[in-house]
Structure 1
Amino acid sequence: MCTSESSSLTDEQKLFYEKNGYILIKNNLNPEFLDELRQRFEDLCEGTAQNHGVSIVKDPVLKKRGISGQYAVNKFQDIFDDEVLGKYGTCKEIVDVVEQLIGPNITGIYSMLINKPPESNPDISRHPLHQDLHYFPFRPANKIVTAWTAMERLDEKNGCLHVIPGSHNGPLYNHEYPEGNKHKLYHEVTGMNHLPKLHVIMEKGDTIFFHSLLLHGSGPNFTKGFRKAISCHYADSNCTFMDINYGRMAKEIEDMEETKTGVPLNIQNYFKARSRLIRGNPGALQQFYSNL
């Protein structure tokens, strides 16, 4: 069982989300369930479990220093198909909240487990201020939401999330690589670092749900321990791909995939391969003409 408490949103919570662009649900997931996910993460890092499609992203600095196991891993991507980690994306206590925010027809569009190991370079450990919509070539923005769950206590010392409340009411801003960047695709909203940030302190099992236009990021891990969180992005299955050219982001993703696999892959098929119908009826995202 995933849950510790009810995941039904009150009217007050829904209004808070509409105003601020996020809502934090305390004790959303059971610690024992998260322990199961953590153990699976460690087993895959150590090579003691069979990997069925999870993409393991290693910290480039720590990898060069010969560090191995979970101490060298920055992120797991594409966890939907893993028999253990994939439970997160379909967990009722997560999806019930998502349904209340974007509607009953839900597609999981991207999934990951983010690990901040100790001793990493701060420029790699942090995630610059950004908007998730920057990475997604489909719309509308208010029908895309992220669920992000703390797998241990998260605070400013180990790199918790920070958000700019209400920023989801603004546009999709320009994103560029920050100075000193060492991470591919870790783009940053330009000219916004002067805005006051709210650091979201979370305990194990807390989940924050946030709008695709919310400005957010996370700091470096300055502790000797880890900072683990698990996350899934969801969209209304009736979202559609933009008709306009998606531009640089699509080109970067397509080039990375071709380098990795040797096979050309357009951005629509990239998201099609990573998405899963989670609840409700299939929609435009599942239809062949949208390539998702």
Structure 2
Amino acid sequence: MFTNRLYSFFGHIQQQFQPKLLNNKITIGSLNQRLKLLSTTTESKYRYSFTNGANDKISNEQRDFYEENGYILIKKLLSDNDIERYWQRFQDLATGKVEPNPLLLLQRELATAKQAIHERNLYKVQELYADDVLFEYCRHPLVLDIVEAFTGGPNILAIHSMLINKPPDAGTKSSRHPLHQDLHYFPMRPADRIVGTWTAMEKITKENGCLSAIPGTHKGEHLEHDYPEWEGGVNKLYYGIKDMKNVVGDRIHIEMERGDCLFFHPLLIHGSGMNRTKGFRKAISCHFASSTDCHYIEIKGTIQEKLAQEILDVYHRRARSFMGGDSDNMTYKDLWRNRSRLVRGEDKIGATTS
């Protein structure tokens, strides 16, 4: 942004005062060369974010913070009207006022898994692309403008989306989410062109289970994950990092107000504690990837294979139960192509079937 302003300034000088500059042996050409060098030097220190010329939605200070810590928190990004709209849609789905699309995944918490779906046991809604109202979040211009700074361009896919309704803990501590890296779920690379968003739908504190994270861990490796051996168990597909002994850094808690939005790198180690209050804790989230730079990878034989097979098993059962289809030949890549949606620009890599 600074260098862009300098270019504009010296462009004006070129028109108004070119003779004087030439007499002083300072040419516009040499100034342009120096400014380009300054711009290149400035950008070269950024690995995880881009300005993309006109994209000035985040400052260099915010970029610096993301580079160092792996996340930034944007206060009050979404309006109360936006949040209320998502909130009402969740209630309508939970109470049966709105018939859910069969592709929308309604998930109960472990402690109430055998009960019928209702407002107090519906803890997660996934595949928001199957609901026009909730998917507005993933298409929100204010969200995408900032996402673009991390995906590196205007071609953006929404690859995973959900609304989380963390319930009061039932005494089993199963409302905890172990420390993990979101990249463990994704068969896409490079990680640096993927970003997660997590928006508070109400005041979120340490007491009701805010996110916690270890800043700077996005600079590390993709670590092996598995189910933690916790008393009381853990919700299905809630994998955690298997061995934390080599992870360096102190965990912080990220408390948020309604409408605040967290943007974070998929290698950032994070999780959430149990909800110790009597109320629910709602947040809406989406992960985005560049549809220009990202590509699918083969996860067979990697540390992701176990989780991938478990996720595939879940979707095979759903396909047979709700859609009557034969999905046994679906691969993990196919699943992610089916759930990904283009939300801005063009799909340059054929990442989605939609």
Question: TM-score with structure 1 length normalisation?
Answer: 0.91
Q: Deviations over 1:25-78 (max 9, x none)?
A: 0001001210111011011000011212321001131244x5752210110001
1:100 corresponds in structure 2 to 149
Question: Tell me, what secondary structure is at the counterpart of 1:101?
Answer: helix
For residue 186 of structure 1, the aligned residue among 215, 231, 238 is: 238
Residues 204 and 257 in structure 2, CA contact (< 8 A), matched pair in contact too = yes
Question: Tell me, what secondary structure is at the counterpart of 1:93?
Answer: helix
| Structure number with larger C-alpha Rg | 2
**What RMSD over aligned residues (CA atoms) do the two structures have, in Å?**
1.9
Structure 1 segment 49-128 matched on structure 2, within 5 A: 49-52=98-101, 53-64=103-114, 66=115, 69-103=118-152, 104-128=154-178
Residues 34 and 205 in structure 1, CA contact (< 8 A), matched pair in contact too = yes
Letter in 1 for 2:315: E
Question: Tell me, what secondary structure is at the counterpart of 1:80?
Answer: helix
Q: Deviations over 1:114-149 (max 9, x none)?
A: 111224345321110000000001100101100100
1:241 and 1:32, CA in 2 relative to 1: closer, same or farther beyond 3 A?
same
In structure 2, what is the Cα distance between the partners aligned to 1:124 and 1:115?
Answer: 13
Verify: 1:38 aligned to 2:113, yes or no.
no
Verify: 1:273 aligned to 2:341, yes or no.
no
Verify: 1:220 aligned to 2:274, yes or no.
yes
1:37 and 1:266, CA in 2 relative to 1: closer, same or farther beyond 3 A?
same
Residues 227 and 234 in structure 2, CA contact (< 8 A), matched pair in contact too = no
Structure 1 segment 162-177 matched on structure 2, within 5 A: 162-177=212-227
Question: Tell me, what secondary structure is at the counterpart of 1:233?
Answer: strand
- Structure with higher RCO (Cα < 8 A, 6+ apart): 1
In structure 1, what is the Cα distance between the partners aligned to 2:241 and 2:116?
Answer: 32
In structure 1, what is the Cα distance between the partners aligned to 2:345 and 2:309?
Answer: 32
Q: CA deviation at 1:89?
A: 0.4
Residues 61 and 121 in structure 1, CA contact (< 8 A), matched pair in contact too = no
Residues 128 and 217 in structure 1, CA contact (< 8 A), matched pair in contact too = yes
Question: Tell me, what secondary structure is at the counterpart of 2:72?
Answer: strand
In structure 2, what is the Cα distance between the partners aligned to 1:147 and 1:82?
Answer: 18
In structure 2, what is the Cα distance between the partners aligned to 1:36 and 1:24?
Answer: 22
1:248 and 1:95, CA in 2 relative to 1: closer, same or farther beyond 3 A?
same
Q: CA deviation at 1:102?
A: 1.3
1:68 and 1:257, CA in 2 relative to 1: closer, same or farther beyond 3 A?
closer
Q: Which is richer in strand?
A: 1
Letter in 1 for 2:218: H
1:67 and 1:120, CA in 2 relative to 1: closer, same or farther beyond 3 A?
farther
Task: Count the aligned residue pairs.
Answer: 282
1:244 and 1:119, CA in 2 relative to 1: closer, same or farther beyond 3 A?
closer
Unaligned runs of 5+ in 2: 1-55, 321-326
Unaligned runs of 5+ in 1: 1-6
In structure 1, what is the Cα distance between the partners aligned to 2:148 and 2:157?
Answer: 11
Residues 240 and 285 in structure 1, CA contact (< 8 A), matched pair in contact too = no
Residues 159 and 287 in structure 2, CA contact (< 8 A), matched pair in contact too = yes
User: Which stretch shifts more, 46-55 or 70-79?
Assistant: 46-55
Residues 106 and 235 in structure 1, CA contact (< 8 A), matched pair in contact too = yes
1:63 and 1:133, CA in 2 relative to 1: closer, same or farther beyond 3 A?
closer
In structure 1, what is the Cα distance between the partners aligned to 2:116 and 2:345?
Answer: 44
